[in-house]
Amino acid sequence: KMPNTSSITQFLLLAFVDTRELQLLHFWLFLGIYLAALLGNGLIITAIACDHHLHTPMYFFLLNLSLLDLGSISTTAPKSMANSLWDTRTISYAGCAAQVSAFVLFVTAEYSLLTVMAYDRYVAICKPLHYGTLLGSRACVHMAAAAWGSGFLNAVLHTANTFSLPLCKGSTIGQFFCEIPQILLLSCSDTYLREFGLIVVSAFAVFGCFVFIVVSYVQIFRTVLRIPSQQGRHKAFSTCLPHLAVVSLFVSTVVFAYLKPPSISSPSLDLLVAVLYSVVPPAVNPLIYSMRNQELKEAL
């Protein structure tokens, strides 16, 4: 008789380190990154909300990006810090489901929003005369709502699917937060094909967004290179570079995490990569956006 799923009341997360000194080091390191993310994103949200010069589509989307970054890092980091501090590895069944759904929501919505931001840059540079009509305030709210909505829908589908599977291969998750691929490894039934189907559908959507971003940038670069003055070219590029940097960081770490060959896979490398795509971007994005941006610096 297979043990029933309902008998699992908690999962064991992967600990970063075993010795107490290193656990505390991990706690302080994560706390530093988390506080940096809270401060950076908090400042950007406050500046954009309070400065009416920044009430433009580009900054409206940036404000949403900062909210999503705060959400995604708050999903994974605090629990991991608490576990290191109290020298434990457990997470409750409900806590694990909540972590999975929140993480999928924020990551999906962030990727959708980065796609919308590519469209915003495309219209601003390639169709500047139509910018006001194509990206009016209602259109912007609808696009942002669509990004959040896609995250919510994806989260509900994946969480419901993953947690309806019977789990019989123990309760140890090989990651520092609850993640769908790791939970699927604990499943012992063939129904994981259903979740696999969902992942394939999601992968198509991800690829579609990626193609859209690439095509947008090809058009942007073609337009920018036709600008006669060097100053004009520089100004146009500088509004795109932060977005391009954030997209590259986001896509490259996620792709490496999920598509790296098994031959180079090791628990410590998997952990490092997970930190790279789940904890680092929310802390780094505010820096990327505010470094080159004069308007944002002045508002801050």
pLDDT tens readout for residues 258-267: 777 777 777 7
Looking at the structure of the chain, the number of domains it has is 1
Asked if residue 7 is part of any domain, the answer here is: no
Asked if residue 49 is part of any domain, the answer here is: yes
Q: What is the pLDDT of residue 6?
A: 52
Q: What is the pLDDT of residue 37?
A: 95
Q: How many Å separate Cα 259 from the centre of its chain? A: 17
Asked if residue 1 is part of any domain, the answer here is: no
Asked if residue 217 is part of any domain, the answer here is: yes
Asked if residue 8 is part of any domain, the answer here is: no
**Residues linked to residue 91 through DSSP beta bridges, in sequence order:** 11
Compute the distance between CA of residue 17 and CA of residue 20 in angstroms, rounded to an integer. 8
Asked if residue 251 is part of any domain, the answer here is: yes
Asked if residue 92 is part of any domain, the answer here is: yes
The whole-model pTM stands at 0.89
Spans in the chain with pLDDT lower than 50? 1-5
Asked if residue 2 is part of any domain, the answer here is: no
**Residue 83 contacts residue 99 (beta carbons within 8 Å):** no
Q: What is the pLDDT of residue 1?
A: 40
Compute the distance between CA of residue 134 and CA of residue 127 in angstroms, rounded to an integer. 9
Rounded to 5°, the CA angle 115-117-122 comes to 100
Q: Which domain holds residue 117?
A: 13-299
Q: What is the pLDDT of residue 192?
A: 61
User: Where residue 192 sits, what CATH number does that domain have?
Assistant: 1.20.1070.10
Compute the distance between CA of residue 133 and CA of residue 109 in angstroms, rounded to an integer. 24
Q: What is the pLDDT of residue 278?
A: 87
155 exposure class (CB count in 10 Å sphere: 0-12, 13-18, 19+): buried
